[in-house]
Structure 1
């Protein structure tokens, strides 16, 4: 069964970037500390990266995040979503308007201009097609940014939320949850502690 999942790193004070994020400063000031776990040699961290990317049938991201990963200092063969871990899932971008050009033209990009729900619907179709082709159940993964995941969470569109809680306090930045986020009871599915993060996975709803 295809699940709608969100997977994101967060600081102890609830931020998914540091202050002043942008195309040349993707994670904001100090935000690199959020993702130390993803590049560590710790076997548990490596297993989490491998396991999560292996289940990716389609990936949803926002336009700001797309501009960062597709920018000159963004993804390449060594650094990127599931680099050296998986093949190349479909990427669905939530945006008000498609970009004029794409640097990472070897990846499968779809640009949705009608909101997060339509992007998830498109991603579900792609993930189901990929599941049928591979014979393995694959998920839709919302990788960010915080606004996309927060909006999907608030709209009740997620089945699973995974937060990689990094041992850092950023003080400000992009929050995952806001005062408008509805109160929601989650069911803890797993909790894995490593030297670099606490990996918490919950069922939503």
Structure 2
């Protein structure tokens, strides 16, 4: 069965970027430390990353994040979706208008201009098709940013939440949960590594 999984890294004080994120520094000041686990040599970090990438039948992201990963300093042959795993699922971008051009033309991009629920529905169709082709269940992964993940949680579109809790205190930045609608979570898995605590919850 295809599930909708929100997957995001957060600091100990609840931020998903440092202060002042922008086109040249998408994670803001000090924010690169959040994703140290994704480039770690720790075998448990590698397993978490590999399994998450492998289960991704389709990925939803917002336009700001798309502009970063498709920009000149974004993904390449060595670092892409899943960091060094460089996964190639279908990508669905929530945006008010499609870009005039795409740099990463070897990836499967769909641009949805009618809102997040339609983008999630489109991604589910792609993930279900990929599941049928591969003979195993694949999921839709919401990789961010904060607005995309938060809006999906608020709208009740998320089946599971995976948080990668980095041992970093940023002090300021982009908070994940401030002003969010209340949700009941059921903890399912915890994996503690040298660089992060990986938590998975069912969202009720």
Count, aligned residues:
204
1:175-200 Cα offsets, whole Å, 9 max, x none, are: 11122x12111000001111101101
Residue in structure 1 matched with residue 92 of structure 2 by the alignment = 92
**TM, length-normalised to structure 1:** 0.97
Give unmatched runs, 5+ long, in structure 1: none
Q: TM-score, normalised by structure 2?
A: 0.97
- SS of the counterpart of 1:184? coil
Equivalence for 2:143: 143
Matches within 5 A, 1:72-91: 72-82=72-82, 85=85, 87-91=87-91
How many angstroms apart in 2 are the aligned matches of 1:8 and 1:38?
Answer: 11
Q: What is the CA distance between 1:138 and its match in structure 2?
A: 0.1
Is 2:53–2:87's contact at 8 Å kept on the other side of the alignment?
no
Q: Distance in 1 between matches of 2:168 and 2:86?
A: 29
Which residue does 2:189 correspond to in 1?
190
Conserved? CA contact 1:54–1:86, under 8 Å: no
Stretches of structure 2 that go unaligned for 5 or more consecutive residues are: none
Show CA shifts across 1:120-151 (max 9, x none).
Answer: 00000000000000001000000010110000
| CA RMSD between the two structures | 1.0
Quote the residue 1:202 is aligned against: 201
- Aligned twin of 1:39: 39
Does 2:124 align with 1:131? no
| Alignment partners' CA distance in 2, 1:51 and 1:137 | 13
Matched, 1:69 2:69: yes
1:20-59 mapped onto 2 (5 Å cutoff):
20-59=20-59
Runs of 4+ deviating beyond 4 Å: none
Alignment of 1:174-185 (within 5 A): 174-179=174-179, 181-185=180-184
